[in-house]
Structure 1
């Protein structure tokens, strides 16, 4: 059975709650005035809708506190305050203004409580308990608002990522999407339209793919059949170094810089370079297609190149393999670097007399063909392909 003191405290608390409920409007106005005077983010005197939202939030907080005092065992619904946190995220603010507003509200509540303590005959212990309850309740509000804030931020980030994923799909579609469709989705995704782009094809990382750390304007397609990136303005200041740093340790190929609507072509070239790297025709590690365009062109149609090589390298076919290699190497250096024996010798690190001897052999084998510019061009294609394949076989 409750003693006389307990009954008195219960009656006093009930009277206190009743008195505060009657003055909710006044307390709410005090809280709102304090908040708007001290927190610029909430000072919108001309925005009636916003003032109504703030008043509703304050009244919810006060009523919720009084409900808790009146019935401490009743379940508490945090959803209204999660919604307030989501609203802060939608407004583009961090949590600091809201947390400050809550502390100011608690201060006003405490002030109002001390004003009523003597008229209602609240004991010091009851006053202490109510004050502690205010700050416990404040923590509950802050936690609920933070949950809503984090939820909204995560949802917004996820939505932006989904839009960026759709934008990447649109940019890599064939035929290319219309510039208007690309511009609309880029705006929705918060992505600035660049003048040029380059696609990066990413290779497997031995079954454990490790995503590179990238700047926010790079579109990522790590879940695509060939993981890829789309880099805006790849030739801009510092972009080369940035990519070198981000892709260090990755097997990747950077496609050529192209217009936005040709992004799929950049990715196609990057994918072909990556495949040639896998075969050993191109080096391992980070490749730039711009550094290997001739090899990419040569291997674009290997069947045709093989047919060309069979025809143009036929004069060497009857020689021993070692002879074929030496003469092919000399002929390619002669075609690429000029017709002087000294320059070719320097490139091959052999004596000029050795080069002259080999060139005489080639003249005997090819005759007047070496004077034809079209045949020289086709010979260089065939010899470049031969050299690349030999390199890959020896790798």
Structure 2
């Protein structure tokens, strides 16, 4: 008759077999432990008495549970001991392969010992067959319980590590900054090696959520009101490509590289740059926008009211002109300030005829007079004209 369920399997083994086997389990446990320690290097710890006691406890528990299931096949069993073994393997930093190997070796020893003693124990072939099947079904159940404990421990550890990293991100971005000691202690607990420099990255979804794919040492704060990252060693090899690739689907700006404890400052600059992208002042490219490429614009727009007031003063000579005239002369004056005072070079930059540039420059000389000879005024003119050009985009 075929066995169709777990309970039927255990019930097929005569309950009295457990009474026959029980006197021998102490000796059997010794043989199983010896075989495991000889064949599985991870369990060969002769100097670790506590670990040997744990191994013996596990083997004894497995044997006692096996006999109990034979005696009471319909009684539910609690696999907590083997879940705890799985959690212990995770805590030891191992995978489950050594444990599974140990269980298979133990089952093999038990089966060999059983077949050797079958005649003395008067076990008929049918009972011996059912016992063999029960051993390997029980082995699978132990492995499943250990796997559950292992996965639970790994998930808990990953969750705790993630919580510590979120807290570390909070500390690095706090104002006023947290103490170096507090950050150092939490970084160690989070498994994060403090770098010499970091950069803050401001994020915004473009539409259609896509989880970033980033290096493990990047601190991620997607759950924050304003999503952000802290990137260690932002100028290191491969970092730029990692961000451009991993942040596809996000609008992102990365602040300048700064010392670790200035992370909040770098992120503030990144957020300011991202706002200028949203306003159209800075052009949005395919990858991450880098503040280091737009420092002049960030400085100019740091205090727009002040720049606006300066513009009213420095662009006053153009105020009476038509808007189209203002645009042409402002464009020519900025090119002249930025690229030199030769009409030919300015014409090449603006893609117009040199004679057109000379005409415009004469107009500007008439409008500004001696002001264009003053280096301070030229500097202020370049500031306001850069701001005007950026806003015109």
> What TM-score, normalized by structure 1, do the two folds share?
0.94
Distance in structure 2 (CA, Å) of the matches to 1:21 and 1:368 = 110
Distance in structure 2 (CA, Å) of the matches to 1:363 and 1:332 = 14
Query: Equivalent residue for 2:101?
Result: 100
Query: Equivalent residue for 1:139?
Result: 140
1:211 aligns to what SS in structure 2? coil
Distance in structure 2 (CA, Å) of the matches to 1:277 and 1:305 = 19
Equivalent residues of 1:15, 1:120 under 8 A apart: no
Query: Equivalent residue for 2:43?
Result: 42
**C-alpha distance after superposition, 1:88-107 (max 9, x if no partner):** 00000001000000001101
RMSD across aligned C-alpha pairs, in angstroms?
1.4
- How much has 1:352 moved relative to structure 2? 1.1
Query: Equivalent residue for 1:82?
Result: 83
**C-alpha distance after superposition, 1:361-380 (max 9, x if no partner):** 10110011111111111111
Equivalent residues of 1:199, 1:263 under 8 A apart: yes
**C-alpha distance after superposition, 1:150-195 (max 9, x if no partner):** 0001111111100000000000011111111111111100011111
Distance in structure 2 (CA, Å) of the matches to 1:80 and 1:61 = 9
Equivalent residues of 2:199, 2:234 under 8 A apart: yes
Equivalent residues of 1:16, 1:116 under 8 A apart: no
1:334 aligns to what SS in structure 2? helix
Distance in structure 2 (CA, Å) of the matches to 1:318 and 1:133 = 99
Distance in structure 1 (CA, Å) of the matches to 2:368 and 2:152 = 75
1:113 pairs with 2:114:
yes
**C-alpha distance after superposition, 1:316-365 (max 9, x if no partner):** 00001111000000000111111111111111111111111111110110
Distance in structure 1 (CA, Å) of the matches to 2:369 and 2:248 = 49
Equivalent residues of 1:211, 1:222 under 8 A apart: no
Equivalent residues of 1:164, 1:189 under 8 A apart: yes
2:88 aligns to what SS in structure 1? helix
- How much has 1:20 moved relative to structure 2? 2.4
Gaps of 5+ in 1: 1-9
1:123 pairs with 2:108:
no
Gaps of 5+ in 2: 1-10
> What TM-score, normalized by structure 2, do the two folds share?
0.95
1:372 pairs with 2:374:
yes
Distance in structure 1 (CA, Å) of the matches to 2:363 and 2:206 = 48
Comparing 158-167 with 209-218, which one deviates more in the overlay?
209-218
Query: Equivalent residue for 1:6?
Result: none
Query: Equivalent residue for 2:153?
Result: 152
Equivalent residues of 2:311, 2:384 under 8 A apart: yes
Distance in structure 2 (CA, Å) of the matches to 1:346 and 1:179 = 53
1:73 aligns to what SS in structure 2? coil
Distance in structure 1 (CA, Å) of the matches to 2:205 and 2:132 = 61
Distance in structure 2 (CA, Å) of the matches to 1:201 and 1:166 = 18
The one of 309, 312, 318 equivalent to 1:310 is 312
2:200 aligns to what SS in structure 1? strand
